[in-house]
Amino acid sequence: MSPNDKPANEKVKVLDTVYHGRLQPHSLEAEQTVLGSVMIDTTAFPKVTEYLHRESFYWDKHAVIYEICEELFNSNEPIDIMTISEKLKRIEKYDEIGGDLYLEELQDATPFPSNVEFYAKVVQEKFILRTIFTTSQEAAEKVFEPDADPEIVLDQAMDKFFSIQSYKLSKSYRPVKDIALETMDELGKIAERDGELTGITSGYKKLDKLTGGFQPSDLIILAARPSMGKTALALSFALNAAIQNKISVGVVSLEMSAKQIAMRLISSYTKVPLYKVRQASCSKAEWRKIANGVAKLSELPIYIDDTRSEERRVGKECRSRWSPYH
């Protein structure tokens, strides 16, 4: 195997494959062992597909062999030296790959086919590192363009970085036996609580009784017509979670500013009507209540992100300021 072999990842071909004299992250041994395992063990390929795809391989010859194995698997044909050789000859890649001699070398380089999942994870981890490098390099190239817009460059880079998270390093499918055993363990822990709330409290007993509290991985959607109190209820949940469960709570607002959210939190916490807070029409007793409430509220682990609403506000101001009709 020579470092002059072309990497499989198309993104890597476009940009530099060598950085400061070093090849991009890859593992020749892991790639060889994955392919050798697939040829030796008939049960290996379904395990490998949970982690890998063609672009996961750094070396082009390995990517070609993997693609052939995938075709054989999808057509219910055996995956071995003979079937792979025939496919390689058909697409005129046999000599380029190294023929049967290299396929045998792959098998010989495989000590334990049963560990194929471990090696597949190594291959995918290296692919993710290469993708991170490529994305960073693409962003670096764009900043030198004459008409580069920092917001556009940043948004594009962030989108690509977030897409990297979609590359899985864990299985999509798991045996029901394993899941059932884990579920029994969880049920045992619930039974030990003897009726106590197992999740995060909403602050509303009847709702908690129905749901058991907010559980990890729950997706809860508050749906109602406009001005029906959705925001007020959601902020009430946030307050109760922070106060009663003493956990950190994040509030992301796409419309309201952080100050508007804070005003609603103060009203909810102190039980002083929101319209009085907004109009500054509170009595002296209510002002004292608000002052004490703000002091206690500031100690709660609640974090507010109003980035998008702030961007819209600044955008409107700029458009208004530079409008020809202003």
| CATH code for the domain of 311 | 3.40.50.300
- Do the beta carbons of residue 306 and residue 265 sit within 8 Å? no
Q: What is the pLDDT of residues 85-121, one digit of tens each?
A: 999 999 999 999 999 999 999 998 888 888 899 999 9
pLDDT-derived band at 172 (thresholds 50, 70, 90) equals: low
Q: Tell me the two tokens of residue 18.
A: 């060598």
Confidence of residue 325 (pLDDT cuts 50, 70, 90): very low
Q: Is the pLDDT of residue 316 over 60?
A: no
Instruction: Please tell me the predicted confidence (pLDDT) of residue 7.
Output: 57
Same domain, 257 and 137: no
Using alpha carbons, select from 63, 53, 48 the residue that is nearest to residue 5: 63
CATH number at residue 44: 1.10.860.10
Please say whether the beta carbons of 31 and 57 come within 8 A. yes
Q: Is residue 210 part of a domain?
A: no
Q: Which domain holds residue 83?
A: 10-164
Percent of the chain residues past pLDDT 90, beyond the cut: 40
The total of structural domains in the chain comes to 2
The reply to whether 160 and 237 lie within a common domain is no
The answer to the question of residue 192 being in a domain is no
pLDDT at 313 over 70: no
Residue 177 resides in a domain: no
- Could you say which of 127, 147, 164 is where a domain stops? 164
- Given 164, 196, 229, the domain boundary residue is 164
Which residue type sits at 199?
Answer: G
Predicted pLDDT of residue 103: 93
Q: Using alpha carbons only, what angle is made at residue 130 by residues 111 and 28, rounded to the nearest 5 degrees?
A: 25
| 149 lies in the same domain as 45 | yes
Same domain (yes/no): 128, 44: yes
pLDDT at 317 over 70: no
Contact 129, 25 (CB under 8 A): yes
- 233 domain-assigned: yes
Residue 125 falls within a domain, yes or no?
A: yes
Catalytic pick from 141, 186, 255, 310?
Answer: 255
Side-chain-facing half-sphere of 78: CA atoms under 13 Å? 9
Last residue of a domain, one of 164, 187, 205: 164
As to burial, measured by CB atoms within 10 angstroms (0-12 exposed, 13-18 middle, 19+ buried), residue 48 is: buried
Helix (H, G, I), strand (E, B) or coil at 19: strand
Whether 255 is a known active-site residue: answer: yes
Give residue 215's pLDDT band: very low, low, confident or very high (50, 70, 90): confident
- The pLDDT of 259-283, averaged and rounded, is 90
Mean pLDDT, range 297-321, rounded to an integer:
70
- At residue 40, does pLDDT exceed 90? yes
**135 and 228 inside one domain:** no
Q: What angle do CA 179, 190, 201 make, to 5 degrees?
A: 110
Which tokens is 282 given? Answer: 């509170």
The DSSP code for 283 is -
Please give the Cα distance from 157 to 162 (Å, whole number). Answer: 9
- The pLDDT of 185-192, averaged and rounded, is 74
The reply to whether 141 and 14 lie within a common domain is: yes
Does 193 map to a domain? no
Q: Determine, yes or no, domain membership for 190.
A: no
Residues 152 and 237 grouped into a single domain? no
249 contacts 242 by C-beta, under 8 angstroms: yes
Please indicate, yes or no, whether residues 147 and 16 belong to a single structural domain of this protein: yes
Please state, in angstroms and rounded to a whole number, the distance separating the CA atoms of residues 323 and 326: 5
Is 116 inside any structural domain? yes
Are 36 and 68 spatial neighbours (Cβ–Cβ below 8 Å)? no
Nearest to 50 by CA among 82, 84, 73, 78: 73
